[in-house]
């Protein structure tokens, strides 16, 4: 059963190539006219292997080796395409399994659903991030001076009216990050009244609140934590450009489509 659309397309094709259409089989196909130049002649439709009958039809004459070579290339090409399709379908199946109620969806609808889901997750993450002390996406140090509440239990003990509240956000790849922060602040001899560590999605956020007294100023604390951030950044860079990673990166070919290039700027 063929559609009118396809029939029309075939008709167009016929006119353009002067009789290419009229059947995809070996009897009428382009391949037959050119000898054994297409796999529609040589390949068994189901297995992709050389069918016995078709193989018998291959003329054994001068240049037969070349034809055999071409047939082998076509076969491996078909198999490569099959593997490629399998890979695409496997990833689509993975996506399907990650979302509910996608069993009946076709591929296009599934992709649309995945896009919607990712958008939803991103907006939700942004919303949650506004109200919770989750690590920011950027490696950064923020320092602020806040007035210590009178009713604070630390107010009387420290006698300081202001707190220096410092926050460091970065990747959590560095195992002794907290020790680094302690070491960096140690020369300032801070009187720490509170600290908090939050990790999320490979990011860490360390918040330390100290009395603003002695050497503890917004500037000195900022400088100390900046040095920690520098160490983290150089450690991350060293990891990123390790020989193993660059080797792996080199094995993968990059192809930038129109869609990729436009979306990468977002």
Q: Does 50 bind DNA (CB under 7 A)?
A: no
Q: Does 257 bind DNA (CB under 7 A)?
A: yes
* Among the listed residues 33, 91, 107, 194, the single contact to DNA using CB under 7 A: 107
DSSP string, 20-61: --S-SSTTTSHHHHTSS-SHHHHB-TTT-SB-HHHHHHS--S
* Among the listed residues 59, 63, 64, 85, the single contact to DNA using CB under 7 A: 85
Q: Does 190 bind DNA (CB under 7 A)?
A: no
Beta carbon nearer to DNA, 94 or 257: 257
Which of these segments, 149-157, 161-169, 191-199, 250-258, binds DNA (CB under 7 A)? 250-258
Q: How many CA atoms lie within 13 A of 200 on its CB side?
A: 13
Whether 237 contacts 171, CB under 8 Å: no
Eight-state DSSP code of residue 214: T
- Distance of alpha carbon 168 from alpha carbon 222, whole angstroms: 9
Eight-state DSSP code of residue 136: P
Q: Does 82 bind DNA (CB under 7 A)?
A: yes
Shortest Cβ 209–DNA spacing (Å): 50
Which of these segments, 76-84, 153-161, 209-217, 235-243, binds DNA (CB under 7 A)? 76-84
* Among the listed residues 15, 19, 24, 123, the single contact to DNA using CB under 7 A: 24
Shortest Cβ 247–DNA spacing (Å): 11
Q: Does 127 bind DNA (CB under 7 A)?
A: no
Whether 51 contacts 57, CB under 8 Å: no
Q: Does 38 bind DNA (CB under 7 A)?
A: yes
Whether 168 contacts 225, CB under 8 Å: yes
* Among the listed residues 132, 150, 255, 266, the single contact to DNA using CB under 7 A: 255
Residues 87-106 that bind DNA (CB under 7 A): 87, 89, 106
Which helix (H) or strand (E) covers residue 115, if one does? helix 107-131
* Among the listed residues 103, 254, 261, 265, the single contact to DNA using CB under 7 A: 254
Beta carbon nearer to DNA, 41 or 164: 41
Shortest Cβ 23–DNA spacing (Å): 5
Q: How many CA atoms lie within 13 A of 256 on its CB side?
A: 5
- Strand residues in the chain grouped as ranges (E): 140-147, 162-171, 192-200, 203-211
CA 171 vs CA 160, 168, 199, 217, 263: distances in Å? 33, 10, 9, 26, 24
Shortest Cβ 10–DNA spacing (Å): 4
- What is the binding site for DNA (CB under 7 A)? 1-6, 9-10, 13, 21, 23-24, 30-31, 37-41, 43, 45, 48, 74, 76-78, 80-82, 84-85, 87, 89, 106-108, 250, 253-255, 257
């Amino acid at each position: 059963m063929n559609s009118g659309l396809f029939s029309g397309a075939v008709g167009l094709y016929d006119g353009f190539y002067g009789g290419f259409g009229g059947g995809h089989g070996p009897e009428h196909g382009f391949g037959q006219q050119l000898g054994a130049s297409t796999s529609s002649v040589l390949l068994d439709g189901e297995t992709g292997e050389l069918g016995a009958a078709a193989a018998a039809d291959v003329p054994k004459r001068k240049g037969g080796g070349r034809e055999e070579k071409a047939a082998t290339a076509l076969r491996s090409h078909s198999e490569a395409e099959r593997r490629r399709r399998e890979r695409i379908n496997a990833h689509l199946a993975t996506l399907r399994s990650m979302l509910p109620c996608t069993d009946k969806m076709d591929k296009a609808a599934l992709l649309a659903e995945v896009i919607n889901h990712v958008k939803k997750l991103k907006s939700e993450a942004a919303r949650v991030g506004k109200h919770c002390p989750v690590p920011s996406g950027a490696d950064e140090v923020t320092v602020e001076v806040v007035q210590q509440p009178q009713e604070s239990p630390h107010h009387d003990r420290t006698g300081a009216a202001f707190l220096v509240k410092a926050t460091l956000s970065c990747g959590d790849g560095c195992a002794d990050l907290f020790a680094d922060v302690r070491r960096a602040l140690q020369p300032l001899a801070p009187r720490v009244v509170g600290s908090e560590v939050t990790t999320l999605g490979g990011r860490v956020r360390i918040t330390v609140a100290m009395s603003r007294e002695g050497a503890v100023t917004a500037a000195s604390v900022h400088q100390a934590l900046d040095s920690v951030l520098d160490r983290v950044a150089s450690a991350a860079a060293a990891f990123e450009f390790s020989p193993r990673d660059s080797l792996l990166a080199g094995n993968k070919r990059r192809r930038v489509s129109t869609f990729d290039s436009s979306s990468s700027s977002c």
